[in-house]
């Protein structure tokens, strides 16, 4: 079930508490709650409290490919002759 919070102005920790409680109650009833249309401020509070992954339930992004640092080689089996 989606909970549209686009109309919520001035989100604070009381807002986060209410959303967390609503999520807990919905889980007890077997319903998945997802917060939609959150303001950047509310999203920041959800990230700060560690609830963003639970309440926003966005698709997880693929990890970015990192470039190999210069002078660093990929690890392989250790060469016993150097020991």
Give pLDDT tens digits for 29-72: 999 999 999 999 999 999 999 999 989 986 455 455 555 556 65
Domain ranges of the chain: 1-58
Task: State the CB neighbour count (10 A cutoff) for residue 46.
Answer: 22
pLDDT tens string 1-13: 899 999 988 889 9
Which CATH number is associated with domain 1-58? 3.30.750.24
pLDDT tens-place string over residues 9-28: 888 999 999 999 999 999 99
Angle between helices 40-49 and 13-28 in degrees, nearest 10: 70
- Whole-number mean pLDDT of the chain? 81
Kind of pairing, strands 2-4 and 34-36?
A: parallel
Containing H/E element for 34? strand 34-36
Count CB-CB contacts under 10 A for residue 11.
Answer: 20
Half-sphere exposure at residue 63, Cβ-oriented, CA atoms within 13 angstroms = 3
């Amino acid at each position: 079930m989606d909970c549209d919070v686009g109309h919520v102005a001035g989100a604070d920790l009381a807002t986060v508490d209410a959303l967390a409680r609503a999520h807990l109650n919905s889980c007890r009833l077997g319903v998945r709650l997802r917060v939609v249309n959150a303001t950047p401020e509310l999203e920041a509070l959800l990230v700060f409290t560690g609830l963003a992954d639970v309440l926003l339930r966005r698709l997880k992004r693929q990890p970015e490919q990192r470039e190999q640092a210069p002078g660093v080689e990929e690890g392989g089996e250790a060469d016993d002759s150097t020991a």
